[in-house]
Amino acid sequence: MKLHLHNTLSGKKEEFVPLHDKEVGLYSCGPTVYWYQHIGNLRSYIFVDILKRVLKYDGYAVKHVMNVTDVGHLTSDADTGEDKMEKAAAQEGKKAEDIANYYLNIFKDDFHKLNISEPDIWCKATEHIQEQVEMIKILEAKGLTYKTNDGIYFDTSKIDDYGKLARLHIEDMEAGARVELGEKKNKTDFALWKFSGEKGRRLQEWGSPWGVGFPGWHIECSTMASKYLGEQFDVHTGGKEHVPVHHTNEIAQSEAAFGKKPWVKYWLHGEWLMFKDGKMSKSAGEIYTVAELEKRGFSPLAYRYFCLGAHYKKPLNFDWEALTNAQNAYDRLKNIIAEFKDDGQTNEQYLTAFADAINDDLDMPGALAILWEMLRDQRAEGKLRAVRKMEEIFGLDLLKKENVEIPAEIKKLAAERETARQSKDWAKADELRKVLEEKGFLIKDTPEGFEITKT
Ligand code: AMP
Ligand code: ZN
């Protein structure tokens, strides 16, 4: 089966045909690095990781770009409220740049723990201010912008197909608009550049032809995506809340500036991780990080397994019982696979069914069901090699032998034994070996040094 993906732009599942043969340009809206990314955020990046893995499995070379929003994302997506980065910097009494780097590093650690591959290019908004100014200048030259008291705005009424991604009914929206318009001409108009206001109010600000200020959040993604992937590219991803505002505005300004339609061929949106009947979000209160899951004894890859149990376009309810079930199923899976011996064959029958599932709009629950079916099939051969191939998509370390957590006390005893051995005090070395065995650990000496395993 050929790869089919659900394209928000058409509202349908479509066969995937990239612009350039076997190369795919992929842009993902990345984190706003003012705080920890929670496991809800990370569900979105597990979805992107699966997409990348499936594209590679199908033989495509993928160039993946992800932005890091370190300026311009206001507490409301609609150009009002405070800048999230500025607010965090003021609260923590640190430089915005230090805050961004701190949270970005934790985000990257979480990627590694969850086996999410990093993008080929990380790009920070603050490192692309000039490019954003240039893009606003193009829009201005085309007569699509206007100035208000607080910034330069994009005039959405000049775009015939504005809102096509979300199928927004602009006239109804205007008629029913209760939102304070201020100096905006249309409710859907959005800021390209915002003025700083009185001097010294902001920590991050830059000069521009229109005045000192900072870029809007939407222009950041349009500018950086096209800088690295071209004026037209294949796939753009994000969370589903980005459809009506952020991605709608990215499309409007990019198609206007570059004069190419569609700016992006396929738009893919992930559904949310839910908690207690709502989207897991910082504003709703209760959120959890990967570190918190670990503290409670869960492995990050059990969380990945939990996420793969739901299609990316379906909401997924998080609770501790569901995560415990996922951890148990994941452990069982690993234990079963640990017993497999390589019989020199690859089970092609299950692999074909597996490829059909992943190519059907990344059907991970379907792919996992096929894995389980194969494991239960007493007569199936070539299981180990089939699992190895499936692992290219799952990324669950199903074939990796458990890294036993070695307590500090054991490591210390093992080191003492090694010292005894080096000084040829065989009696002491033997005695320490016995102590370790009594505590449930085996020591094996190898040319590279000693190894500790659990008995
Ligand atoms: P932010 O750092 O707030 O810009 O969010 C980063 C990404 O996480 C965005 O693509 C959001 O759509 C996504 N996201 C936020 N909350 C959730 C959630 N509860 N479930 C899935 N994705 C989420
Ligand atoms: Zn974006």
Residue pLDDT, tens place only, 273-296: 999 989 999 888 889 999 999 999
Over 70: is that where the pLDDT of 176 sits? Answer: no
Over 80: is that where the pLDDT of 406 sits? Answer: no
* Those residues with Cβ within 8 angstroms of residue 14's Cβ, 6 or more apart along the chain or in another chain: 4, 5, 6, 7, 266
Lowest-confidence segment of 184-198, 219-233, 358-372 by average pLDDT = 184-198
Which of 28, 44, 269, 287 has most ligand 1 atoms within 8 Å of its beta carbon, as the pocket-test mutant? 44
Lowest-confidence segment of 5-14, 60-69, 131-140, 165-174 by average pLDDT = 165-174
pLDDT at 451: 77
SS (H, E, C) 42-62: HHHHHHHHHHHHHHHHCCCEE
> Residue length, the chain?
455
pLDDT at 422: 84
User: In terms of Cα–Cα distance, which of 330, 450, 454, 338 is closest to 403?
Assistant: 454
Ligand closest to Cα of 27 equals: 2
Global confidence as pTM: 0.87
Which residue owns the Cα nearest ligand 1 atom 23?
Answer: 41
Q: Which is the closest atom of ligand 1 to the Cα of 274? A: 19
Name the amino acid, one letter, at 180: E
Lowest-confidence segment of 55-59, 111-115, 150-154, 406-410 by average pLDDT = 406-410
pLDDT at 200: 75
pLDDT at 188: 94
* Those residues with Cβ within 8 angstroms of residue 420's Cβ, 6 or more apart along the chain or in another chain: 426, 428, 429, 432
Buried b / exposed e along 342-378 (16+ C-beta atoms within 10 A): eeeebbeebbebbbebbbbbbbbebbbebbeebbeee
pLDDT at 181: 77
Over 90: is that where the pLDDT of 77 sits? Answer: no
Tokens of 60: 């495509």
Q: Cα(282) to centroid of ligand 1, in Å? A: 10
pLDDT at 80: 74
Contact 313, 271 (CB under 8 A): yes
Rounded to an integer, the average pLDDT of 197-217 is 90
The neighbourhood of ligand 2, an ion, using CB within 5 A, equals 29, 221
Lowest-confidence segment of 192-206, 241-255, 356-370 by average pLDDT = 192-206
Which residue owns the Cα nearest ligand 1 atom 5?
Answer: 31
Q: How many whole angstroms separate alpha carbon 192 and alpha carbon 225?
A: 16
Q: Which is the closest atom of ligand 1 to the Cα of 280? A: 19
Contact 190, 211 (CB under 8 A): no
| pLDDT, averaged across the chain | 92
CA angle, residues 276, 282, 284, in degrees to nearest 5: 40
Lowest-confidence segment of 109-118, 188-197, 443-452 by average pLDDT = 443-452
Residue pLDDT, tens place only, 150-171: 999 999 999 999 999 998 776 6
Rounded to an integer, the average pLDDT of 328-341 is 95
Q: Cα(238) to centroid of ligand 2, in Å? A: 7
Phi-psi region of 454 (alpha: psi -120 to 50; beta: other; left: phi over 0): beta
HSE-up of 235 (CA within 13 Å, CB side)?
28
Which of 8, 26, 41, 268 has most ligand 1 atoms within 8 Å of its beta carbon, as the pocket-test mutant? 41
Which residue owns the Cα nearest ligand 1 atom 3?
Answer: 32
Ligand 1 pocket list (CB less than 6 A) = 29, 31-32, 40-41, 43-44, 238-239, 241-242, 270, 272-273, 279-281
Buried b / exposed e along 180-194 (16+ C-beta atoms within 10 A): eeeebebbbbbbbbb
Q: Is 258 helix (H, G, I), strand (E, B) or coil?
A: helix
Task: Return the percentage of the chain with pLDDT > 90, whole number.
Answer: 77
